[in-house]
Chains A and B, each alone.
Chain A
Amino acid sequence: MNRNLSVNLAGVNLKNPIATASGTFGSGREYSQFVDLNHLGAVTVKGISHEPWEGNPPHRIAETHGGMLNAIGLQNPGAKDFIAYELPFLRQFDTKIIVNLCGRDIDDYIAVTEDFADTKIDIFELNISCPNVKTGLSMGTDSKAAEAVTKAVVARANAPVIVKLSPNVTDIVSIAKACEAGGAAGISLINSVLGMKIDIRKKMPLLGNTMGGLSGPAIKPIALRMVYQVARNVDLPILGMGGIMNWEDAIEFIMAGATAVAVGMANFTNPCVTMDILEGIENYMEQEGITDINQLRGIAW
């Protein structure tokens, strides 16, 4: 039986709905010994800013029950370095490239968007939700600010812009609607949940930045709920993520209304997990007699 796995995310055709989540997969190179990147629907690269960012002091990582905290602080070499050294590597593969853009204020977001003016990126993922940088969260938790930065980036971007939202808000739908009003071509959610851990021997916060973003299966029910809410109320395609560890999780997100899904922390638990998820989805479709993955989208509404 011929099965269709391809999906249309923000006007871009992905060969399958499996992407990687920003910050967990480097720029693809790091995992290319274990995963054939040609088999991924898309690779979302680690957040890129206009200037290089140093990131937060260590410790940056803490394991928690069924998840992990990270407080990386968007360490990255800057757009110029990324375009010169990492983008050409990723281009060798037949996969879509999603570039995660970050900034400290609107001018910063505009600058990094313009850094990509002479490159061909498939999709931009506007990161207005990093809990580990001072201004990151404020942009993603205020509707007006979210709309303004979306509008500014969309006006200058040479590819569709999806906006990555924070779960650290009271009403996710209103933020998503603000991004839609700003011209977003899609929504990416969720980013990590603000959390912390205390080292009871040292009697102080374990993370160098005190607080960090919780990810992994511990946050999956929250992520799934938010994807469901946004999908039902906003007419934009969704890249769903948050604790997807296996194919069953991925199917749940699609049934909640996600067009494609991104795998994040699970890459740390199993570097080949994206391929296992893809195979699991194909088997499931065969078992259930489903010929097109798009038939499953929002089926649980």
Chain B
Amino acid sequence: MNPKHYETAKVISNSHAYGVYSMKLEAPQVAADSKPGQFVMVYLGSDKHLLPRPISLYDVDKAAGTITLDYIVPGAGTKIISEWPVGHNLQILGPLGNGFDLENLGERVALVGGGIGIAPLYFLAKELNGLGIKTDVYLGFRQEIPRHISCFETLAQNIKVATEDGRGGNRGYITDFLPRNPTYDTILSCGPIPMLKALARYAHSHNIPCQVSVEERMACGLGACKGCVVKTLVGYQLCCQNGPVFKSDEIFLPTAKTATQKLH
């Protein structure tokens, strides 16, 4: 079993820019055992919101014993996190999940991220850089381009950024800006389901191995409750334990369902 730690962490910084929050924590035990694509459970310390929130590792500094979590605030639970001041103590559990498989990636790797899905790619890009693997980074956003994407510049050979409204130069979905004749040996990705679906089709048509990081509602984070399932070729697998990273040709990415059409 991979080492996991239930650790008291301390907030070093917790700030907000362009729709993305970034929180740096002193958490030496979790930092020491983490690898890219893994996540931590963040306990809210609330009597109302009792489930921890799974948040992926944006950056890890093993020497300094710190981890950085990038997150957005879609609900009341993450709002609590966003209000923690410097010096606040909290409980975290991690590192959890499998992380990206970094064996046999080949020489040329594309990293594709969408929205808050870029969060695990920075730690990943750093690690790949350390392994001497060349990466091209593709990042897609709805509108706002987070300021800290500049941190990819020293790590990647090429960076391409697209937004749905054209801000920043390239208008459209980031998957539309992938090369027509790719020479990548591997694609590693995290982002919204529609992006991952487009990417999975792209990778499949060009016969490139592709790993995608997905999310699902979780309770325990440890594989005990069987709550966070995703459908795969071999049936339901646990996002927290078998994932959150899956091979794109082994996972069924669901089509979003809504009842909005009943209104019209």
Contact surface of A with B, Cβ cutoff 8 Å: 23-26, 30-31, 33-34, 46, 54-55, 57-63, 65-68, 70, 72, 75-76, 201-204, 216-217, 265, 267-272
Contact = CB atoms under 8 A, between A and B. Distances in A.
A289 B160 CA distance: 70
A24 B217 contact: no
Contact of B49 (A63, A70, A75, A204): A63
B216 A203 contact: no
Given A60-B217, A202-B258, A203-B259, A269 B51 contact: yes
A68 B228 CA distance: 14
Nearest to A70: B227
B217 A58 contact: yes
21 contacts: A54-B235, A55-B226, A55-B229, A57-B231, A58-B228, A60-B226, A61-B217, A61-B218, A63-B77, A66-B48, A70-B225, A202-B260, A203-B263, A204-B257, A216-B50, A265-B219, A268-B50, A268-B52, A268-B220, A268-B225, A270-B91
Contact of A67 (B50, B217, B224, B254): B50
Nearest to B93: A271
B219 A61 contact: yes
A271 B217 contact: no
B4 interface: yes
B6 A61 contact: no
B180 interface: no
A268 B229 CA distance: 17
Contacts of A203: 258-260, 262-263
Which residue, of A57, A265, A268, has the highest number of chain B Cβ atoms within 10 A?
A: A268
Interface of B is mostly: loop
B89 to A, nearest CB: 14
A23 B226 CA distance: 8
Interface string B1-27: 101101000000000000000000000
B226 A24 contact: no
Given A55-B236, A268-B219, A66 B226 contact: no
Interface string B103-143: 00000000000000000000000000000000000000000
B76 to A, nearest CB: 9
A101 B254 CA distance: 32
Contact of B216 (A58, A66, A201, A216): A58
Interface in B200-217: 216-217
A274 to B, nearest CB: 13
Contacts of A265: 50, 219
Contacts of A46: 224, 226
Contacts of B225: 23-24, 26, 61, 70, 72, 268
Closest 5 CB pairs of A and B: A26-B224, A30-B224, A203-B259, A61-B227, A202-B258
Given A24-B224, A55-B229, A58-B229, A65 B236 contact: no
A60 to B, nearest CB: 5
Interface in B231-263: 231, 235-236, 254, 256-260, 262-263
Given A58-B228, A203-B260, A271-B222, 5 more contacts: A34-B6, A55-B226, A58-B217, A60-B217, A68-B50
Given A202-B258, A202-B259, A203-B260, A31 B216 contact: no
A101 to B, nearest CB: 17
Which residue, of B77, B225, B258, has the highest number of chain A Cβ atoms within 10 A?
A: B225
B216 A271 contact: no
A134 B220 CA distance: 25
A271 to B, nearest CB: 5
B146 interface: no
A66 B227 CA distance: 18
A26 B218 CA distance: 14
A60 B230 CA distance: 10
Contacts of A60: 217, 226-229
A88 to B, nearest CB: 15
Contacts of B3: 33
Contacts of B263: 203
Nearest to B240: A30
Which residue, of B47, B51, B231, B256, has the highest number of chain A Cβ atoms within 10 A?
A: B51
Contact of A269 (B52, B217, B222, B254): B52
Contacts of A70: 219, 225, 227
Nearest to B2: A33
B220 A30 contact: yes
Contacts of A34: 4, 6
B242 to A, nearest CB: 13
A15 to B, nearest CB: 22
B168 to A, nearest CB: 27
B43 interface: yes
Contacts of A72: 225-227
A265 B50 CA distance: 9
Nearest to A68: B51
B50 A62 contact: no
